[in-house]
């Protein structure tokens, strides 16, 4: 692993995609409200089901709330416990449930039903992580958690469901790139 310094510069999309890593160790540097607003502002450009824009973000800085999530909500997964306790901001990505994938009448538009909201959350979460990376921050997406307990711990508004937890902060270390599959390994032409 190499140590990286905090700097803000714009990068090309391909560079951003290729150099973003999952960061699990953060410096003690605070992430400002302005920086979080800039990241979420960029993430808000993510596409969504019929432009419903159902994804919401909650920046959790309060150590007592982060500790509660680490202690009670990560299903005993010690890796997430340590990351949550050490990150400057735990971003809870949530969705307004029952909108994405449905018609205005309330009927599902496809057989995927409410699973479209998870798709929307995934797109928005990746966009959030790429925006954070461009601004010099690191992130790691965590999926091992009890969504109902997280919703209770952070007092999510009625009708929202926790979709992902994203540790957010300035990276202490930049991990090496893990081996990637080639396009030939994952692409089929018919």
Q: Has residue 155 been placed in a domain?
A: yes
Q: Has residue 66 been placed in a domain?
A: yes
CA distance 55 to 120: 7
**3-class SS of residue 30:** coil
Count of Cβ atoms closer than 10 Å to residue 73 Cβ: 24
- The answer to whether residue 91 scores a pLDDT higher than 60 is yes
Q: How many domains does the chain have?
A: 1
Structure confidence by residue, pLDDT tens digits, 110-155: 898 888 999 999 999 999 999 999 999 999 999 999 999 999 999 9
CA distance 68 to 149: 10
CATH code, domain carrying 95: 3.40.109.10
DSSP secondary structure string for all residues of 31-90: PPHHHHHHHHHHHTTS--GGG---EEEEEE--HHHHHHHHHHTSTT-HHHHHHHHH-SEE
What pLDDT band is residue 2 in, cutting at 50, 70 and 90?
Answer: very low
Q: Has residue 109 been placed in a domain?
A: yes
Structure confidence by residue, pLDDT tens digits, 147-169: 999 999 999 999 999 999 999 99
Q: Has residue 46 been placed in a domain?
A: yes
Instruction: Supply the pLDDT for residue 10.
Output: 73
What pLDDT band is residue 11 in, cutting at 50, 70 and 90?
Answer: confident
Instruction: Supply the pLDDT for residue 6.
Output: 52
Q: Has residue 72 been placed in a domain?
A: yes
- The answer to whether residue 100 scores a pLDDT higher than 80 is yes
- Domain limits at 46? 13-174
Residues of the chain with pLDDT > 90, as a percent, come to 79
């Amino acid at each position: 692993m190499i140590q990286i310094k905090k700097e803000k510069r714009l990068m090309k999309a391909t560079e951003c995609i290729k150099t973003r890593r999952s960061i699990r160790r953060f410096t003690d540097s605070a992430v400002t409200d302005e920086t979080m607003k800039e990241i979420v502002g960029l993430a808000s450009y993510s596409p969504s089901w019929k432009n419903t824009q159902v994804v919401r973000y909650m920046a959790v800085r309060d150590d007592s709330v982060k500790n509660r999530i680490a202690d009670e909500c990560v299903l005993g997964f010690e890796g997430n416990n340590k990351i949550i306790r050490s990150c400057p901001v735990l971003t809870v990505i949530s969705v307004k449930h029952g909108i994405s994938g449905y018609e205005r009448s309330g009927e599902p538009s496809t057989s995927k039903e409410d699973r479209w909201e998870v798709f929307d959350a995934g797109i928005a979460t990746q966009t959030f992580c790429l925006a954070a990376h461009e601004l010099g921050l690191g992130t790691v997406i965590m999926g091992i958690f009890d969504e109902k307990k997280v919703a209770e711990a952070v007092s999510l508004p009625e009708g929202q469901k926790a979709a992902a937890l994203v540790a957010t902060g300035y990276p202490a270390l930049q991990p090496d790139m893990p081996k990637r599959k080639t396009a030939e390994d994952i692409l089929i032409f018919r």
